[in-house]
Structure 1
Amino acid sequence: MINKLLEVSTLSEYQSNISREQFELIRPGLEGLRKLMRSRRCDLYDVFNAILYSLTTGCQWRELPHVFPEWHTVYRYYDMWRDKPDPTVDSLLEKPLKKTVGSYRFAQGRSTRTSFIIVDAQTVKSTDLAKNSGYDGGKKISGIKRHMAVDINGLPQAIHITRANVSDREGALAVFSLSNQTLDSVQRVMVDGGYTGQDFSGQVKLILNANTTVAKRNELHTFKVLAQRWIIERSWSWLDKCRRLWKNCERKLNSSLQIVVLAYLALVLRRY
C-alpha cells in the first residue's frame, strides 16, 4: 500500500503530465479501439502521461520510469493511436486535436473553423534511424520538412510532413488538398516570400477558393517583426519544449506527423 502511494505521488510530480480532468476531454476518442483489445489492465491516463514523458524528455521507450505502465504496453497504445491507414483519414490523435482546437476557438467567441490561416514550413534534421529523408538545398539540411497552417491563435489547423527536398509551395498545396474539408471556411491565406512563383495563389484559389497574401521582408528595408507572421514562428517555438522534436528520430513520415500532433494536443489541453 505504501509503495503504491509513493508511485502515485512520484507520477504526479512530472511536469510533462496533464491533469485527469484535462485527459477526460479526449478519453472517449482514445477508447475507440477498446472492442479490438483484451480487457485493459492499466489506466489510459497513465499511458497517455507516459507518452508525454517520452515526448518531453526525449527518452527511449525502454527508459520510461517504472512508475508508468510497462514500456511495451505504452508503445502498443501509442502505435494504435497514431495509426493512419489512409492519408485522408484522421488518426485517433488528430481527431481530438481538431476537436479541442475548435472548442478553444468557440470558448473565445470565434467560429470553430477559421477563415484566416498562416502557412509556413520548418526543415528538421533527421537522425540515422529515419528512413524518409531528403536534402533541403536552401537550408543545407538532410531530413524532413514540417508544413503547417495555423489560425490567429497559432494553433494548428492542418499539418503535413514531407521529405526535406519537397518545396514549400508543393508542401503547402498538399496540406490544402489533404485538409480541404477542415479548411473549407478559409477566405485568406498568409505566406512569406518563399511561396511566390508558379502561380501559387491561383492553385490556392482553385483548392480552397481563398485569397493569398504574401508578406515580404525585403520590402520593409529594415528589420521588423512582420505583422501576423510572428504567430506561426511562435507556434514553431512551442515545439522546442519537446526534446523528441529537436531532431527527427522517427522512421516513417506518419510517425513524424503524429508526434507533432501529440505535442500540440498536450499544449491545447493544458490551456483548459
Structure 2
Amino acid sequence: MRCYGSDLTDAEWQVVRPLLPVPAWLQGAESYCHRVMLDVVRYVVDNGVKWASLPADFPPYRPVHAFARRWQATGLLGEFHDRLHDRVREKEGRAVDPTAAIVDSQSVRAAANILCSTSGWDGGKKVGGRKRHLVVDCLGLVLAVTATAASVQDRDAAVQLIEELHAGYFSLRLVWADGGYAGRLGDWAAENLHLTLEIVRRADDTSGFVVLPRRWVVERTLSWLMRSGRLVRDYETLPVMHEAMVLWSMTMLMSGRLAGRHSAGFSRSASAR
C-alpha cells in the first residue's frame, strides 16, 4: 500500500474532509477522490518534484495538475486555506479575525523555466528570481501572499498586499514591519485603511544574529516554508501558482497541527493579540 511522509494521515483526513470547499458544480467532476488528489499535491509541495516525475503509484500527473490549477483559479484553495486558518486560531484560543499582523518578504532563486518578464534581481540579497511577500498573524499563519519579481521593492508590493489584507480582515488595526517598509507606506496605510504600520528596527549597536520583537514571527514562517521542497526555488511559470504553493504548504502545516502531528512545528510562545 502506498504511504509517503507527505500523505494525509487518517487523523488529518478527519479534520480536512469537512472543510473541503467542494461546490455543487464540482461534485463528480474529479477523476479521483479528493484524498488521493490532495496526497499527490502534498507530495509535489513537500518534495519539489516535477509534476511529470510523480511516482508510478500516483494517478497520472495531468489530471492532478489540472486539479491544483483549478483550485487556484476558482478560489477553492484560498477558501480551504482560510477554513483551516480559522480552525487553528480557534484551537489556540484566539479570535478568528486577527487584530495585528507582521509583513515581510523572501527572495528565492528562479528555475530555468521562469520567464525573465516575471523575475528580477534583488540587489540587497544578491538573489535573482522572485520574491514572495507575506503577511502573517501572531501565530505565524499566512493571511495574505503575493509573488513578484525579486527586483520589486518591499514597500511597493506591500500596498497591494495590505489592501488585500484589509479587505479580508476588517478587524486588523496594526501591522509590524522592518525598516524596508519605512517611509510613505505608513502614512498611506493610516490615511486610506486606518491601519498603524509600526517599524521594528534593529539597534545600530548590535552585531550578528538578533531576535527582534514581532519580526521573529514572520521570519519563522519563512523558515517553515523553506521546509517545502517546492518553495526552496521558484519552479512555477506563473507567479499566482507560486502563491498557491505557499498556501498548499501552509495547509499541510495547519492540518498537521489540528490533527496533533508533532512535526507541524507551531510554537505556543507567540504573544496574544
Bigger CA drift: 49-58 or 210-219?
Answer: 210-219
Q: Deviations over 1:217-240 (max 9, x none)?
A: 134534431122111111011112
Give the corresponding residue for 2:112. 128
Q: Distance in 1 between matches of 2:113 and 2:244?
A: 17
CA contact (8 A) 1:184 1:208 kept: no
Pick the aligned partner of 1:105 from 67, 70, 89. 89
**115, 123, 137: which is aligned to 1:137?**
123
Q: TM-score, normalised by structure 2?
A: 0.86
Q: Which residue of the partner structure matches residue 266 of structure 1?
A: 252
Structure number, greater radius of gyration: 1
Q: 1:59 & 1:196 partners in 2: Cα distance?
A: 38
1:54 is matched with 44
- Matched with 1:73 is 63
* Residue 114 of structure 1 pairs with residue 104 of structure 2: no
Higher normalized contact order (CA 8 Å, seq sep 6+, divided by chain length): 2
Please provide the CA RMSD for this pair: 2.0
TM-superposed CA distance for 1:138, in Å, is 1.9
- Does the 8 A contact of 2:166 with 2:172 survive in 1? no
Match of 2:200 among 206, 215, 239: 215
SS of the aligned residue for 2:166 comes to coil
Letter in 2 for 1:190: W
SS at match of 1:218: coil
Mapped pair 1:44 → 2:30: no
Structure 1's 39 and 174: CA in aligned 2 closer, same or farther, altered over 3 A? Answer: closer
Q: TM-score, normalised by structure 1?
A: 0.86
Identity of aligned residues (%): 28
For each residue in 1:16-56, what CA deviation from the matched residue of structure 2 results, as whole angstroms up to 9, or x when unmatched?
11224423544466563663576544221011101111111
Query: Are the aligned partners of 1:186 and 1:208 in contact in 2 as well (CA < 8 Å)?
Result: no
Aligned residues: 255
Distance 1:41 1:152 in 2: 39
Does the aligned pair in 2 maintain the 1:97–1:264 contact within 8 Å? yes
Change (3 A) 1:100 1:29: closer
Which residue in 2 is equivalent to 1:64?
54
Distance 1:108 1:31 in 2: 23
| Structure 1: runs of 5+ lacking an equivalent | 1-8, 85-90
In the alignment, which of 201, 209, 215 is matched to residue 186 of structure 2? 201
